[in-house]
Amino acid sequence: MKASTPLDHGWTLRLDPRGHRPEQAADALVDEGVPARVPGCAHTDLLAAGLIPDPYLGRNEEEVAWVGRADWTYRTTLTGGSGGGHERADLVFDGLDTVAEVRIGGRVLGRTRNMHRAYRFDATQALAAGGDVPLEVAFTSAYEEAEAVRARLGPRPNAYPEPFNFVRKMASSFGWDWGPTLVTAGIWRQARLERWSLARLAEVRPEVTVAEDGTGRVRVRIAVERTAGGAARTLRASVRVAGVEATARLQPGSDAATICVEVPDVALWWPRGYGEQPLYDCEVTLGTDDTEEVALDSWERRVGFRTVVLDTAEDAEGSAFTLRVNGQPVFARGVNWIPDDTLVSRVDAARYRRRLAQAAKAGVNLVRVWGGGIYESEDFYDACDEAGLLVWQDFLFACAAYPEEEPLRTEVEAEARENVVRLMPHPSLVLWNGNNENLWGFRDWGWAEELNGASWGEGYYLDLLPRVVAEADPTRPYWAGSPWSGSPERHPNNPRHGTTHSWEVWNRLDYAAYREDVPRFMAEFGWQAPPAYATLRRALGEDQLAPDSPDMLHHQKAADGNGKLARGLAPHFGAPVGFDAWHYLTQLNQARAVATGIEHWRAHWPVCAGTVLWQLNDCWPVTSWAAIDGAEREKPLYHELRRLYADRLLSLTVRDGRLALAVVNDAPTPWEGRARVRRLDAKGGEAAAYEPEFTVAARAVGLVELPAALTELGDPAREFLVAEADGLRALHFAVADKEFVSPAGEVRTEVVETAEGADVTVTAHTLVRDLLLQADRLAPTAKADRGLVTLLPGESVTYRVSGWDGTGAVDAALWWVDKARSAAG
C-alpha cells in the first residue's frame, strides 16, 4: 500500500545568497534563516518572525515590496532508506509558488514555473543511501521570470503595469484595482513524501451523467504508473459507487482503463433553492490479481448526479445564456469570487465555509471563480457541493494579452488539463470559462494596434481550452470568455448575446443607467464602498479616518476611485461633510446601486437569466465593490443582497413609460396574494391606495399594472409609493434624496440585553429612510442581523446584535438619510 508522509514541519526559510538580495534584508535571513510553515509563503514566515510589518496595515505594503523581489530557499531534512521496502519514493508538491528548483542532497530533481500545477519528482535514488538527506526548494522571484519572458517574447498590453501575463502565477498578487501588490513565493500547498511499489493511480477522471430513466452513470477513466517490479503484473482496478461495483484488469503493458458503474434511481443533485444536494462516495481501488486483499493505491471523492446544459438558443431578443440543471432553467443569483486573502495559503477550510455560508445565507446560488486568482482548494468546491452553490470556473487569464509561445503554451495546457481533471468530480461545477475580459480587451482597449500581429491568447480561448474540456470533461459546457457574445462576428460585450460586463455605469454614469439595458446574462457589475468602520480603524488608525487621508487613499486601488464615489453621491445627496456621513452615504449608495440593477434585471427573467455581482469578498482592508470586507465584516450591501436574492421579491419598475409592480417568484410553488400599494405623503398621510390580487407561477415574474390615479404624484418632492405583499416591501421615490422634502428624522431607541448580546429596537416618529445600525461601532466584535431599513411613521425595527454587551450609547452607531443629509453641503 502506498505510504504518504506529510512534509509540514522542520522547514526553515532563508534568502538565497546566490540570488538577488534587497537592501532591506537582514543578515540573519542569509545565515540562519527563520522557521517556515508549510503550506505558507515568504511573507507569512517573515510576519511570524517579526521581520516585516503587517502589509495590510497603513502603507506597510510599500515597506514589504522588497520581499517579492528576493530569491528564497526552503530547507528541511528527509530520512533516507527504503522506507518499508517500497520500490519508489516520490516528492509531491500540490503547489509551488512559482519558479522553483527542487534539490535533494545537492542533486537537482526538477524545476517548476507554474503556481497552478502540482509536481511529482522521483527521489528514490537520492534517498537510497539512507541517513539524513537535505531537501531544498529554491525560489526565484516571479518578477525575474516574468521580466525575462517578456524580454524574450516582446511586450503585451494589460490593464495594470505589472508583468503578470508572462508567468503562470496568481495575477492579482501583482496588485489589482482592489488588491495589494504582494508578490509571494513559497510552498503554498501541501508537500509530502509518497512511497509505493508496483503501481499507483496517476489519474482518475469520473464522468458523471444521468440517463433519461434516472440511472446514474459514472464512467471512470484511470491511468496508472508502474515501477519496474509492476511492469509484468496484471493490475486490477475497481470502482464502487452507492454499493455498485465494477472491475477492470490491466494486462502487462497497459496503463489505462475505463470502468463504468450504473446506479439505478439515483437522487439528483440540485442547486440550492431547487432541491437537495445528495452526494455519493466514489471509490477507486488499484491492486493486483495475486494480492486482492492488499490495495496498492486508492482514490475517493464524492460525486453528485445531475445534468447541466448551457442554453444559447437564438430567439427574438438575440441569443440566450441560460444554465439548465436537470432540465430546469435557473436564474443565477450570483457573486464573483476573488482570492479571500492575497496571502492565499492562510485561507483554510473553516474560512471557506464561513464565506460560502454567508453567500448561501444571502440567497446566492452561483459563485464565479474569477480568472485573476487561483483554482481554489478542494475545501472550496466541497463546501459548494454541500451547499448547492453552482460554480462557474474561469481559466486563469484576466485583463491582459497572454503570449501563446513557449515557455507559456506548454504550461497553460498542462495547467488546464490538470485542473479540469482535479475539479471534474464536483457536481457544483457547472461551467468552464476561458478568460476574464480579454476578448473584450482586444476589441475595445487598443490592443490590436499595440500587438501588431503578436499572439494575445485567442488561440487559448477559442482552440486549446475548449479542446481540453471536450477531451477531459465532456459533461460540462465551455464558454470562451466573459464578456463574450458567442461569435467573433459580434461585439464581445453585446448585451443581446451571451455574457455582459457593465462597467460604464460605475465609471461614468449614474446607477439609474442600469435600467437602460436588459442583458441576457449580467456577469459583472458593481459599485464601490469603503469597508466597515472597525475594519478601517484597525487598518488605518484613528488619525487617518478621512476620505482623502494618505492611508485611506492607499487602501483605494481603483483609478480615481474616490472621485467616482463623490460623483456617484452628488446627484443623490450632495457632498457629505465629515468622515462619518461620507462613510454611511457611500455604503448606502453602493447598496442602492446594486439594488437598482438586480431589481431591474430580475424583473426581466427569462430574457435575463442571471446577475453576478462584482464582488462577494475582499482579500485585505480596502475600499472596493465587495459585499463582505477583508476583515470578514458584512457591509450594508450584503444585507441588501439578502432581500434582492430572496426567492420572492417585490419591486416598483418602469415598463413602457409607466410604473408597474414586478412580482418576482423564484420559488418552487406559485405565489398567490394581494398587494397593497399606497401613495404617501412624507408626513405620513395617505393620498391614494390600490389592492390588486396577483397569481405568479413558480420560477416566473408577474407584472401588476398600477392605475394612473395612484402613480401620478401630486408633489414628487413630498410623495412616494409603498408596495407591500406577504411581508415584503418595495419603495419608489421619484426625486433624489437631496430634493425630497421630509421632516427631520426622529427616532426612539431601546436596548435589551440578550444571551447572545443585545436587541436594539428603533421606533420612528417620522419617515426614516435607510436606517442603519453600524454594530461594529459599538464593539469591534459586534454584528447586527440586518442592514438598511426604511421605517414609516410609527413603525419599529429590532436589530439583534451579537458580540456586544449592550452597554454604551447607540446614537453614534445609528445612521439614516436625513441624519447624513444634515451634514451635506
Residues 667 and 652: their CA atoms lie apart, in Å, by 20
First to last CA, the chain: 75
How crowded is residue 314: how many other Cβ atoms within 10 Å of its Cβ? 10
> Residue 500: beta bridge partners?
522
What are residue 406's phi and psi, to 5 degrees? -75, 150
* Residue 437 bears catalytic tag: yes
The C-alpha cell of 780 is what? 469591534
Residues 448 and 22: their CA atoms lie apart, in Å, by 38
For residue 314, give the nearest of 462, 610, 474, 520 by alpha carbon.
Answer: 520
The C-alpha cell of 241 is what? 459507487
CA atoms within 13 A on the CB side of 770: 22
Residues 147 and 677: their CA atoms lie apart, in Å, by 63
Using CA atoms, how far residue 586 sits from 399, 569, 624, 625, 775, in Å, is 27, 7, 11, 11, 17
Residues 114 and 109: their CA atoms lie apart, in Å, by 16
Antiparallel, parallel or unpaired: β 3-6 and 191-196? antiparallel
The C-alpha cell of 544 is what? 487617518
The C-alpha cell of 7 is what? 512534509
> Residue 334: beta bridge partners?
366, 612
Residues 762 and 393: their CA atoms lie apart, in Å, by 43
The C-alpha cell of 459 is what? 488561440
H or E segment and range at residue 653 = strand 648-655
Cβ(92)–Cβ(194) under 8 Å? Answer: yes
What are residue 348's phi and psi, to 5 degrees? -105, 180
Residues 423 and 118: their CA atoms lie apart, in Å, by 13
- The one-letter amino acid at 114: N
Q: Is 155 exposed, middle or buried (0-12, 13-18, 19+ CB in 10 A)?
A: middle
What are residue 216's phi and psi, to 5 degrees? -90, 135
For residue 309, give the nearest of 324, 290, 322 by alpha carbon.
Answer: 324
Sheet holding 199-210, edge to edge: 199-210, 216-226, 256-263
What are residue 568's phi and psi, to 5 degrees? -75, -30
The C-alpha cell of 680 is what? 404617501
Of 415, 437, 599, 634, the active-site residue reads 437
Using CA atoms, how far residue 23 sits from 13, 16, 17, 332, 610, in Å, is 18, 14, 13, 51, 51
Residues 368 and 413: their CA atoms lie apart, in Å, by 22
Contacts of 359 (CB under 8 A, 6+ apart): 335, 367, 387, 389, 616
For residue 264, give the nearest of 241, 291, 294 by alpha carbon.
Answer: 241
The C-alpha cell of 346 is what? 492562510
- The one-letter amino acid at 705: E
For residue 174, give the nearest of 189, 159, 190, 186 by alpha carbon.
Answer: 159
Write out the catalytic residue numbers.
437
